[in-house]
Amino acid sequence: GQQVMQIPQYQHVQEGEDFTTYCNSSTTLSNIQWYKQRPGGHPVFLIQLVKSGEVKKQKRLTFQFGEAKKNSSLHITATQTTDVGTYFCAGYNQGGKLIFGQGTELSVKP
């Protein structure tokens, strides 16, 4: 079945450093979604990318969807302690199921 792989699993950064997490699917995706889960919290939708090569920005966050629609990335510029949490990518398969990557847990040292 479809697999969504995400790396790295963990990332520890100093406040102010940049952070990137990468997502790869075994099959072409119709779209890619990104969620953030704060420690002890629940996943919260951040953004959805639909078009090949699409790039979207939300303040310090930049999201990209690959040309082949099989990979995506989330880049955070100048991390802050409020960025702490686990970032998940997710894509719908043909059966209508949202398949999540394993997540990247980001910790930020002040």
Partner 1 sequence: DTAVSQTPKYLVTQMGNDKSIKCEQNLGHDTMYWYKQDSKKFLKIMFSYNNKELIINETVPNRFSPKSPDKAHLNLHINSLELGDSAVYFCASSPSGGYSYNEQFFGPGTRLTVL
Residues that bind partner 1 (CB under 8 A): 30-31, 33, 37, 41-45, 48, 50, 86, 88, 92, 95-98, 100, 102-103, 105
* Cβ nearer to partner 1, comparing 95 with 110: 95
Work out the number of other CB atoms within 10 angstroms of the CB of residue 77.
14
* Cβ nearer to partner 1, comparing 48 with 77: 48
The closest alpha carbon to 100, from 15, 14, 37, belongs to 37
Q: How far is the CB of 54 from partner 1 (least distance, A)?
A: 14
Q: How far is the CB of 78 from partner 1 (least distance, A)?
A: 25
CB contact set of 64 (below 8 Å; sequence gap of 6+): 49, 53, 54, 55, 72, 73, 75
Whole-angstrom Cα distance, residue 63 to residue 68? 15
Name the amino acid, one letter, at 27: T
Q: How far is the CB of 74 from partner 1 (least distance, A)?
A: 16
* Cβ nearer to partner 1, comparing 30 with 80: 30
Q: For the chain, give the number of residues.
A: 110
* Cβ nearer to partner 1, comparing 27 with 37: 37
